Chain A
Amino acid sequence: MAEIELHFTEFFDGETVLVSNDSGELYRGERLKTDMRKSLAKIVRIDVPSGRSTLRFEMPAKALSMELEVDASRLHHIGVSLLNGELRVNAISREEFKREPRGYL
C-alpha cells in the first residue's frame, strides 16, 4: 500500500465527497467547506494500492462523479475542487511538483 494526499480545495460549501476504488470506500469527506483565506478545505492522507490504480470520486448529493487513474509511486497529491458545479480532480505528479511547486497561501 502507498499513502497519497488528497487536497480538497475550492468552492466547497458543506458538500460530501466519497473516494473509493474497487475494494470499496477509502475516504468520506463530509461537510467540506473551503477556507477562502487559503482556497483550501482539507488535506487528508489515504492508503491506496501501490503502483497504478483507479480512484473514483463521487458527490452523491449532486450526482457528480469522476474517475482518475493514478500511479501512487509517482504522485504528489490529487487536487479535488468543485468549480461551476463540476467536480474536478487533478493528479499532480512529483515531477510536476518539482517543476512547479505549489500550495496554499
Chain B
Amino acid sequence: MTLKARRNTKLASKPSTLKSGGANAVSAQSEVDAVKSARRVATSSIVDTVSGLYQEQAPGRGEFRLDVDGPYPQMAASGVIVSGLTSRLHWIARVRADGLARWTGEIWFREGSEALAPHRSVEISIERDGNGLEARVRFFGAGLSDLVLFYRRNSVYFHPVQFEFDVVEGVTATTAIETWAHPNRPADLPNENLTIQAAFERAGFDVSVSPGSGAVPLSGAGGNQTWSDTEMHDAMQRYWSHFENRAQWSLWVLFAGQHDDGPNLGGVMFDDIGPNHRQGTAIFNNSFIAEAPAGDPQPDAWVARMRFWTACHEMGHAFNLAHSWQKELGASWIPLRNEAEARSFMNYPYNVNGGQTAFFSNFAYRFSEQELLFMRHAPERMVQMGNANWFDDHAFEQAEISPEPKFKVELRVNRDPAVFEFLEPCMLEIKLTNASDDPQVVSEHVLQDSDDMVLVIKKDGQPARQWQPFAQYCRKSRQVVLDSGASRYEAIFIGAGRNGWDVAEPGHYSIQAALRIAGRDFVSNSLQVRLTPPRSFEEQNLAQDFFCDDVGRVLAFDGSRVLNRANAVLQEMADRFPERAVARHALIAVNRPMLKDGKVLAVPAKQAMGMESAAQSGCSIARVAAQPSEAKKAMGAALMKEPAKAAETLGHIDYKFYTDQLSDRIANDGDVKGAAKVQEELFTTLRSRKVAERVLADVNKKRKSYATT
C-alpha cells in the first residue's frame, strides 16, 4: 500500500546508541538465550494472553509489565514502584512458568530507589475475574519481609505510541507491503498485508496512526530540492501535528526524495536538534534503496520491501535502538552483544554473510530479542521519543493529579517582570487556595513541611534539581480549616539548600512545586524567573565567597551568631554594594540576631577528642547580649529606606515579618511612637503593592496597639 502525497497541506498545531541505566552487570546474552525457546511469531489474536501493561490499584501509582506470551515473549517481567512524589524504582526480572498462571524469577535490573524493593526474586500470579486480569506480584528473598502488590491489566501492549506519516509532494509513502510479493522470503512467513503499525504492535506497542498525515511541500528542501537535517527538523516542527518540545510516545515519519548526502543515504533518524531528540525520521525514496539488485526476479517488490524495511529501521532508531553490529558501543543500558548476523530491522541486509539475499531469506519483519527486551522493559526515559533526564520536560510525571483539584497551588514573586539581580537571594511566595465549594482541612504547617512538598528548579539547558531545604521539622501539626476560596501563604528562600545554591548563575529558570494533601498531588504553575548577569568584575569576584553553604544557611535562617565567616561576607556585600538588592538581605541576616539576646553553644578550643557529650567536652551555653542600637539602625536602613524596593526583594511576607520584629524592638526600647511610625510605613508600602486587605488590617491593628501601650 502506498500513499500519494495529498495537496492538502496543513499547519502544525510541535545517537542512536542505547542509554546507560545504572544496571547490575548481568550478561544480557544469557537473558536472550533463555527466551529463544519460547519465541513465537505472532499472527493470531493476543486477546487471550496475560502479557501486557498492568496498573497498580489506587492509591498506588505503580506499573507492572508481564511478557510471557503473545508475540515474541521475552519471559520477562518489569515494573515501576512509586512512593511519595519522588521515590521510584524500575525493576526487571527474568521469569519462568512455575505452575498454572504463575511465574517466578530473579530480579536482574534495578534503577532508582532500591530500598522500595530490595528483594532478590519475584513471584507473579494472574487471576481472571469479571473485570479482567489481576496480577499479584510478590517480592521476596534476601531475608526480607515479602512485599505484595496488586495490579490490573489495562492493555495487552507494553507502551502506547503514535505515528504520523507525512509525505513530500511528488513522493509516495510505503507504510505496508504484501509479504509474499517477493519470492525470496522465509518458507514459513505468513502471507499478509503487513503494515508498519502491525510490525510495531508485534513488538509490543499499542500503535495509533495520527489522522494528521499530509503533504509536505518540496520547497522546504530549498533550492537544491534535497533535504538537510535542519530542513527536515524545520518541516517536522511545522507539519507534524503533534510536535512538542517534550518527550512523548509519538514519532514523525517523513517519506522524502533525497538527502543532501545524496543517493547513498537511504534513510535517517535526523532528529538530534533541539532539546528533544529522536522524534523525527525520514526515508529517501530516490536513494540506493530504490535500486533492486541486478537480475532480481521482482524488482518492484524488492524496492517496496526495502522502503518498508528502511522505514521500520529508522523508526527503530527513534526508539533508541542502535545498529545490530554496534550494540557493544556507546553507553548501553546493560551489557549487550553485537548481533552482526541478526535478522532484525536494525541490521543492514547487505552486511550479513550472503548479503541481502541471505538476510531476507529468513527475515520475519521483526526486532531481535534483546531489542524487544529493551523496547518493552527498559526504563521509559531510555526508549520514549524525545526523552531526557528525569523531570526534564516531564514536570511531576508521578503526580497523581485529580481532574477536579480541590486545591490550587501557586508559585509567585512579588514583582513583574520576574527578574532578579545577580547575587539577589531568590525569594518566592507559595499560595495554597481551597478551590472547592466546601471547607477543607489541611495541616497548619502544610506549606512549611518539606515531607509533603516537592519543589523543583530547572535552569535552561541544565538538569532539573530538587530543592532540599536546610531544615526539616518534626512536629505535631494542628489541622486547620481552609474555607472555600481562602488561601494560605508562605515565603520560601529557594536560592540555596542542602543541594547547594540552586539559583545562582545568570539565566532563565523554571520553578514548580507539588503538594501532597490527603493522598493527592496538587501541582503549581511553572514559574519562570530570570537572573541577570553581574554588573561588574567586583560582583563576580565576591560571588565566589557569597555562593557558599554557610552564607546560604545564614540567609535561610535569617541570621547566625556563630557562622562568623558567612556574616563577614554578608557585611562586605552590604558595604560594597549598598544600592543592590543583596545588601538588604545581608543587613537583615547580619543584624536580626542582634535585636535581642541569644544563646550559643560555647565550645572550648582544644584537641578533638573521641565521642563525648558537649558537657564532657567542657561546652556550655553562653549568653550573647543584644546590640539593639546597631541592629535597629541597620535593619531600619534595610527596611525603611526605599521601602518599596525592600518589599519587592524580600517578598511581602518576609518584609512584614522583619518589619514587625523591628517595630517590636523599638517599642520594647520605649519608643512606641517610633514603633507605630514603622508600622505606618509598612501599611503604606503594602497597600501601594496591593497586598490583601486582611494583611493590611493586621498591620493597622498592630500600629494601633502601640498607641495603647
Contacts and interface: CB of A to CB of B under 8 A. Distances in A.
Interface of A: 5, 7, 35-40, 43, 77, 98-105
Given A36-B326, A39-B326, A101 B350 contact: yes
Contact of A100 (B261, B262, B270, B355): B355
Which of B264, B268, B329, B355 lies at the interface centre, i.e. has the most chain A CB atoms within 10 A of its CB?
B264
A12 B34 CA distance: 35
A36 B294 contact: no
Nearest to A38: B268
Contacts of B323: 36, 39
B240 to A, nearest CB: 19
A5 B263 CA distance: 12
Nearest to B302: A101
A37 B291 contact: no
A100 B356 contact: yes
Residue from A101, A102, A105 whose CB has the most chain B CB atoms within 10 Å: A105
A80 to B, nearest CB: 14
Interface string B309-330: 0100110010000110010011
Nearest to A104: B265
Nearest to A98: B294
Nearest to B314: A105
B289 A36 contact: no
A99 B287 CA distance: 16
B293 A98 contact: yes
Contacts of A35: 15
Given A98-B294, A103-B265, A36 B322 contact: yes
B262 A43 contact: yes
B272 interface: yes
Given A36-B322, A36-B329, A39-B326, A100 B293 contact: yes
Contact of A99 (B293, B314, B326, B351): B293
6 contacts: A99-B293, A99-B295, A101-B292, A102-B288, A102-B350, A105-B267
B16 interface: yes
A7 B265 CA distance: 11
Given A101-B288, A101-B350, 5 more contacts: A101-B291, A103-B266, A104-B264, A105-B265, A105-B268
A66 B640 CA distance: 81
A102 B272 contact: no
Contacts of A100: 293, 350, 355-356
A36 B16 contact: yes
A102 B317 contact: no
Interface in B263-313: 263-270, 272, 287-289, 291-295, 310, 313
Nearest to A95: B294
A38 B263 CA distance: 13
A101 B265 CA distance: 12
Contacts of A104: 261, 264-266
Contacts of A99: 293-295, 355
Contacts of B356: 100
Contact of B310 (A43, A101, A102, A105): A105
Contact of B264 (A7, A36, A37, A98): A7
B348 interface: yes
Given A36-B17, A37-B16, A37-B272, A103 B326 contact: no
Contacts of B16: 36-37
B266 A43 contact: no
B272 A105 contact: no
Nearest to B293: A99
A100 B16 CA distance: 25
Contacts of B270: 37
Contacts of A101: 288-289, 291-293, 350
A103 B288 contact: yes
Contacts of B287: 103
Contacts of B292: 101
Contact of A38 (B265, B293, B295, B330): B265
Interface string B337-350: 00000000000101
A37 B351 CA distance: 16
Contacts of B266: 103-105
Nearest to B288: A103
B495 to A, nearest CB: 40
A20 to B, nearest CB: 24
Contact of B268 (A37, A77, A102): A37
Nearest to B290: A101
Given A103-B263, A104-B265, A105-B266, A37 B293 contact: no
The 3 closest A-B pairs by CB, nearest first: A103-B288, A98-B294, A102-B350
A37 B317 contact: yes
A37 B317 CA distance: 7
Nearest to A42: B261
Nearest to B283: A105
Nearest to A10: B326
A82 to B, nearest CB: 13
Interface centre among B261, B262, B322 (most CB of A within 10 A): B261
B347 to A, nearest CB: 10
A92 B8 CA distance: 43
Contacts of A40: 261, 264-265
A35 B323 CA distance: 12
Contacts of B350: 100-102
Contact of B313 (A36, A43, A105): A105
A5 B288 CA distance: 15
B338 to A, nearest CB: 12
A105 B348 contact: yes
A40 B265 CA distance: 9
B348 A102 contact: yes
A65 B313 CA distance: 34
Nearest to A36: B15
A77 B265 CA distance: 14
Nearest to B262: A43
Interface string B353-370: 001100000000000000
Interface centre among A37, A43, A98, A104 (most CB of B within 10 A): A37
Nearest to B322: A36
B641 to A, nearest CB: 59
Nearest to A39: B323
A19 to B, nearest CB: 18
Contacts of B355: 99-100
A38 B317 CA distance: 10
